[in-house]
Structures are given as structure tokens and as C-alpha cells.
Amino acid sequence: MMAAKGLHWKRLAAALITGLVVLIFAAGAGAQSGVTQAEVDALLAIKRGFQSPSILASWNESGAGVCTSWLGVDCLNGQVTGLSLPGKALRGVLAEDIGNLTSLRKLSLHHNFIAGSLPQSLGTLPALKGIALFLNQFSGSIPANLGNSSALAQLDVSYNLLTGPVPAGLTQSRRLTLVDFSVNRLWGVFPGDWAQSSSLVVIGLAANSLSGPLPDQWGAINASSLQRLDAKDNFFSGSIPRSLGARAALTELRLSNNQLDGAIPEELGQLAQLTVLDLAGNQLTGEVPAALGNLSVLAEADFSGNALSGAIPASLGATNFRCC
């Protein structure tokens, strides 16, 4: 009786272990089988473009272990959803074949030395949410079709060598919250559609060669999304748009070192959250509006290098304050 019972338990244990092994194997195979040959081929083409074989040694030419052992490759349900290789001293170019990673959500290759153009195919990736390619050596223009990535939320290509205009229509991506094109060599105008975006939180255009007026439709929509607007170190001209006063969530407004003229609009006194107001190095005239004294959290204000007259409002108690 006892012997039979012992045998029964041994069989049960053996069956359980076998079942577990089968399960683990199936799970492993499942994760692997989801990755298509097109995705493997695309990744291997990207590897060849980078000319950095030692860093990507785990990207086995056999295509084995994409989701389990390839450096910087993230998968979800057996699909390649992320490529994340920041600060890996990558050189070479980013291959157009990246457009074949059709489930890609996040592309993070910042702090490298990647040169050549930004792939046109990025604009065709339907799930792409985040592009972090800042601090590289990309040149050429920003693909005009990026606004076609309807999921796109964050686009940071700052600190590169990009030229040409800021593409129109980026705000077709209704989820776009951050655009940072700072420190490139872009020319042309400030895209008017950005002023009417209800999703943008951060706009970075600093240190380019952009010119023309700043758009003046910031109040056309009921949007309090915008928190940071940095357009300093360009060639923008005309006056500071009054409608910026409608963007109540603004915390940082940097317009220094442009060619802006006219008076500082008193509407800026409505920006109750403003902590930084940098208007230095323009051709602004008139007085600093008394309404700016209303800005109780303003910590940094710079009006230096303008042609302002009159006294500074006594109520303007910015801790780091420079004037006229």
C-alpha cells in the first residue's frame, strides 16, 4: 500500500516537472517566434550601418535570441518595440531599414556619434511614440513626414547638425508633447501650427538660424499644456506675441538673443506660473510693464541688452534679476 502510494507521488512529480519544462520551452519559443524575419533583417542592417561590431556582438548574425540577449533590443509579445542604445559610442549611420521594425515604440540612441540623415522611414512607423536622437551628428533635413506618425509624443533631435526648415504639419501627431530641435542649423520660420497645438508641453528651438516673426495665435485654443518655450539664440524679429499671455501653464519663456522689438506685452503678467523670463539681447523698447510684478514665482528675469526705459517695477522681486 505504502509502496504504491510512493510510486504514485513519484509519477505525479515526474509529470509535473515534464509539464513545467514543456511550459518553459513553449514560453521561450513563443517569445522568439513572434519576431519576424523582417525584424531580424532590419536589426542586422542597422548593425551594419553602425560599424560598431564589438558593441553589438550580442546581435548574432544567426538571428538567435533577439528578445532575450540582444543588447538594447526590447520586445513585447515577441515583437521588437524598443531600440535603446544611448551613450554606446555608436558611429556610422542609422539605416533606413529601421522602417521595417513595424512595432517600434521607442527609439533611444542619444549621446552617440551617429551621422548621415535621419531615416525618412521613421515617419511611417505607426506605433512610434518616442524619438531620442539628441547629441549625435545627424545632418540633412528633418523628415517632413514625421507628423504622419500619429502616436508620436516626444521628438528630441537637439544637438545635431540638422539643416533646412522645421517641417510643417508635425502637430498632426495629436499626442505630441515634446519637440526639441535646439542647437542645430535649422533656418526658416517658427511653424505657426505649434502655437495652436493643445498637446505641446515643451518647445525647444534654441540656437538655430530661424527668423521671421513669432506666431501670434497662442490664445486661439483653450490649452494650458505649454510649459516651456525656448526660442533663444535665433534671428526672430517683430514683437513678442501678446497671446502668449493666454498660456497660463508657462513656467519658462526664453526669447533672448533675437531681433525682437516693440514693448514687452503686459499680458505676460498673466503667466502666474512663470519662473524664468529671459528676454535679454533684443531691441525691446518702452518700460518693463508693472503687471510683471504680479509674477510671484518668477525666479530669473533677464531684460539686459535692450533699449528699455523707465524704472523697474518695485514689485518685481525676481531673485536673479538683470535689467536694461
Ligand X SMILES: *[C@@H]1O[C@H](CO)[C@@H](O)[C@H](O)[C@H]1NC(C)=O
Written as nine digits, the cell of 49 is 550601418
Q: Is 114 in the site for ligand X (CB under 6 A)?
A: no
Q: How far apart are alpha carbons 83 and 164 in whole angstroms?
A: 27
How many other β-carbons are positioned within 10 Å of the β-carbon of residue 316? Answer: 20
H-assigned helices in the chain: 2-33, 37-50, 66-69
What is the nearest approach in angstroms of ligand X to the Cβ of residue 110? 24
Length in residues, the chain: 324
Nearer to ligand X, 142 or 183 (CB): 142
Residues 67-106, one symbol each (x = binds ligand X by CB under 6 A, - = not), give: ------------------------------x--x------
Q: How far is the CB of 145 from ligand X (least distance, A)?
A: 3
Interaction of residue 290 with ligand X, rule CB under 6 A: yes
Which single residue is written with the C-alpha cell 540577449?
69
Nearer to ligand X, 132 or 142 (CB): 142
Q: Which of 235, 240, 249 is closest to 267 using CA atoms?
A: 240
> Could you tell me the three cell numbers for 79?
515583437
Cβ atoms within 10 A of the Cβ of 71, count?
Answer: 12
- Closest separation in Å from C-beta 87 to ligand X: 23
Q: DSSP 3-state assignment of 154?
A: strand
Under the criterion CB under 6 A, does residue 54 sit at the interface with ligand X? Answer: no
Task: Write down the least CB distance from residue 275 to ligand X, Å.
Answer: 17
Instruction: Using CB under 6 A, pick the residue from 1, 9, 62, 319 that binds ligand X.
Output: 62
| Near ligand X by CB under 6 A: residue from 137, 145, 154, 225 | 145
Q: Is 152 in the site for ligand X (CB under 6 A)?
A: no
Total residues binding ligand X (CB under 6 A): 21
Q: In angstroms, rounded to a whole number, what is the distance separating the alpha carbons of residues 127 and 241?
A: 35
Contacts of 245 (CB under 8 A, 6+ apart): 219, 265, 267, 268, 269, 270, 271
- Please state, in angstroms and rounded to a whole number, the distance separating the CA atoms of residues 183 and 80: 31
* Chain center to CA of 134: 8
What is the x/- site pattern for ligand X, positions 156-195, by CB under 6 A? Answer: ----------------------------------------
CA 112 to chain centre: 16
The Cα angle at residue 128 between residues 209 and 108, in degrees rounded to 5: 65
Q: Which of 269, 276, 277, 288 binds ligand X (CB under 6 A)?
A: 269
Pick 45 or 263: Cβ nearer ligand X: 45
155 lies in the binding site for ligand X (CB under 6 A): no
Binding window for ligand X (CB under 6 A); candidates: 12-20, 73-81, 143-151, 299-307? 143-151
Among the residue ranges 14-22, 23-31, 210-218, 287-295, the one whose residues contact ligand X (CB under 6 A): 287-295
Query: Which residue matches cell numbers 531691441?
Result: 283
Q: Which is nearer to ligand X, 296 or 309 (CB)?
A: 296
263 binds ligand X (CB under 6 A): no
Q: Name the site residues for ligand X (rule: CB under 6 A).
A: 38, 41-42, 45, 57, 60, 62, 64, 97, 100, 123, 144-145, 148, 221-222, 269, 290-291, 293-294
